[in-house]
């Protein structure tokens, strides 16, 4: 009986020692420790079986087993120390002043970033932010905006026409203005809304023209709205966007869906009107189209032009992003060259 148990003890100790010399991590060491010395470990188990021995053999076996157990525990401790030192060796060689490896991280496209800023500004002024369809009907893109079929104003914007259903013609919207009428139909008047989105023009691309670009439409309709409101809101908007007071001027301009219509310029924020390359030496930057909503457009949206007046504007977002970052060619935005995007 003792002999069996003694042999078992010997074998277990031998195995444990050889396992100990081959463990290479602290985790492995801990597993081994539990397996051999733990509460349910092999050696502990043998010590529990001591009661099965004849009484006179219990003492000697118990002593032997306990000796082996504490010797093993010491060896485990020693090995633990070795492994700790080995893992610290790497830490000692670590130089915290070495520059780290920066993980690649995406960010917003410069056009989207400025679009979000514009949305925030108008939200804070109590405007709705709406979304509209890029595939638009001829009705909303033209007709409802006082641009009938034969009207020369249709040529102001070169249009991508889509396949025509029997009774509707579809276009890729040439501007966000169709949302003026859709918004009035959907929400009624009075209304304050901005509509950011992508627009399409069938034009030859160059440094300042792209076949697809982005606009934000703005619409305010209420009782007693005047050009003064238009100019005030535009000044506040641009001031917030550029983080400083900006000087704006309105120049008369023709758009069929506003009367009177204007182009809004603002004094160049780079040279403060002195003339520089950004403003092409004129001191002014042509910024957006705007005007008082045409009575026919109010009517198309279901508002009574006798009771309501309103202003609308359409601003090119790509152009704003180009000005802010002094980007010389609009085509960079869609070229997909990371060397360009990584600058923002
Ligand atoms: N839709 C016009 C354009 O794309 C801009 C505009 C919007 C002008 C609203 C007046 C009022 O050029």
Kindly report the average pLDDT of the chain as a whole number. 90
* Domains of the chain: residue spans and CATH: 2-89 (no CATH), 110-341 (3.30.930.10)
Least confident residue range of 3-12, 171-180, 248-257:
3-12
- Which of 218, 217, 221 lies closest to 303 in space, CA to CA? 221
What's the pLDDT score for residue 86?
78
The partner residues of 258 in beta bridges, in order of sequence, read: 293
Chain segment 249-289, per-residue pLDDT in tens: 999 999 999 999 999 998 887 788 899 887 889 999 888 99
Are 295 and 173 contacting, i.e. CB atoms less than 8 angstroms apart?
A: no
What's the pLDDT score for residue 93?
72
Are 223 and 191 contacting, i.e. CB atoms less than 8 angstroms apart?
A: no
Binned at pLDDT 50, 70 and 90, residue 2 comes out as low
What's the pLDDT score for residue 20?
87
243 in the Ramachandran plot: left (φ > 0), alpha (ψ -120 to 50) or beta? left
Binned at pLDDT 50, 70 and 90, residue 66 comes out as confident
Long-range contacts formed by 162-167: CB under 8 A, 24+ apart: 162/135
Chain segment 91-126, per-residue pLDDT in tens: 667 788 888 888 888 899 999 999 999 999 999 999
* Residue bearing the bigger pLDDT, 302 or 52: 302
Distance 262 CA to ligand 1 centre (A): 9
- CB burial of 154-169 (b: ≥16 within 10 Å; e: otherwise) equals beebebeeeeeeeeeb
- State if residue 219 touches ligand 1 by the CB under 6 angstroms criterion: no
What's the pLDDT score for residue 105?
84
The partner residues of 313 in beta bridges, in order of sequence, read: 218, 290
Binned at pLDDT 50, 70 and 90, residue 223 comes out as very high
- State if residue 294 touches ligand 1 by the CB under 6 angstroms criterion: no
Q: What angle do CA 12, 16, 17 make, to 5 degrees?
A: 120
Distance 327 CA to ligand 1 centre (A): 23
- State if residue 314 touches ligand 1 by the CB under 6 angstroms criterion: yes
What's the pLDDT score for residue 333?
93
* Residue bearing the bigger pLDDT, 324 or 124: 124
Q: Enter the pTM of the model.
A: 0.71
Binned at pLDDT 50, 70 and 90, residue 1 comes out as low
Place of tokens 């100790």: 13
Distance 48 CA to ligand 1 centre (A): 92
Least confident residue range of 56-65, 165-174, 227-236:
56-65
Q: What is the share, in percent, of the chain residues with pLDDT greater than 90? A: 49
Q: Where are the alpha helices (DSSP H) in the chain?
A: 2-22, 26-37, 42-48, 55-93, 110-124, 138-141, 178-187, 227-242, 295-300, 317-325, 332-335, 338-341
Mutating to test ligand 1, I would choose from 257, 260, 264, 301 the residue with most ligand atoms within 8 A of its C-beta, which is 257
Please provide residue 65's backbone torsions phi and psi, each rounded to the nearest 5 degrees.
-65, -40
Binned at pLDDT 50, 70 and 90, residue 317 comes out as very high
Mean pLDDT throughout 57-73?
87
- Which of 147, 210, 213 lies closest to 178 in space, CA to CA? 147
What's the pLDDT score for residue 151?
83
Mean pLDDT throughout 34-56?
85
Tokens of 6: 């003694």
- State if residue 141 touches ligand 1 by the CB under 6 angstroms criterion: no
Chain segment 188-203, per-residue pLDDT in tens: 999 999 999 999 999 8
Q: Point out the ligand 1 atom lying closest to the alpha carbon of residue 176.
A: 1
Q: Has residue 51 got a pLDDT over 80?
A: yes
- State if residue 290 touches ligand 1 by the CB under 6 angstroms criterion: yes
Q: Has residue 166 got a pLDDT over 60?
A: yes
């Amino acid at each position: 009986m003792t002999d069996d148990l003694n042999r078992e003890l010997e074998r277990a100790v031998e195995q444990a020692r050889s396992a100990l010399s081959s463990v290479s991590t602290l985790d492995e060491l801990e597993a081994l420790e539990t397996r051999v010395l733990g509460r349910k470990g092999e050696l502990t188990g043998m010590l529990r079986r001591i009661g099965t021995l004849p009484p006179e053999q219990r003492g000697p076996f118990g002593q032997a087993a306990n000796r082996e157990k504490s010797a093993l525990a010491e060896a485990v401790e020693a090995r633990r120390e070795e492994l700790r030192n080995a893992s610290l060796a790497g830490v000692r060689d670590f130089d915290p002043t070495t520059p780290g490896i920066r993980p690649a991280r995406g960010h917003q496209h410069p056009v989207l970033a400025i679009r979000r800023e514009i949305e925030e500004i108008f939200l804070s002024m109590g405007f709705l932010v709406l979304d509209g369809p890029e595939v638009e009907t001829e009705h909303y893109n033209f007709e409802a905006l006082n641009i009938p079929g034969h009207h020369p104003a249709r040529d102001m914007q070169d249009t991508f026409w889509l396949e025509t259903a029997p009774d509707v013609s579809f276009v890729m919207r040439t501007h966000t203005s169709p949302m003026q009428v859709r918004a009035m139909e959907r929400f009624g008047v009075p209304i304050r809304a901005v509509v950011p989105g992508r627009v399409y023009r069938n034009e030859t691309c160059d440094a300042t023209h792209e076949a697809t670009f982005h606009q934000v439409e703005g619409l305010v309709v209420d009782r007693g709205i005047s050009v003064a409101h238009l100019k005030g809101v535009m000044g506040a908007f641009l001031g917030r966007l550029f983080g400083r007071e900006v000087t704006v001027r309105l120049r008369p301009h023709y758009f069929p869906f506003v009367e009177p219509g204007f182009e809004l310029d603002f004094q160049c924020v780079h040279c403060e009107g002195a003339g520089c390359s950004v403003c092409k030496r004129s001191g002014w930057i042509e910024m957006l189209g705007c005007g008082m909503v045409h009575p026919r457009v109010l009517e198309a949206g279901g508002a009574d032009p006798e009771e309501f007046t309103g202003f609308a504007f359409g601003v090119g977002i790509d152009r704003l992003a180009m000005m802010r970052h002094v980007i010389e060619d609009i085509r960079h935005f869609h070229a997909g060259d990371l060397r360009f995007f990584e600058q923002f």
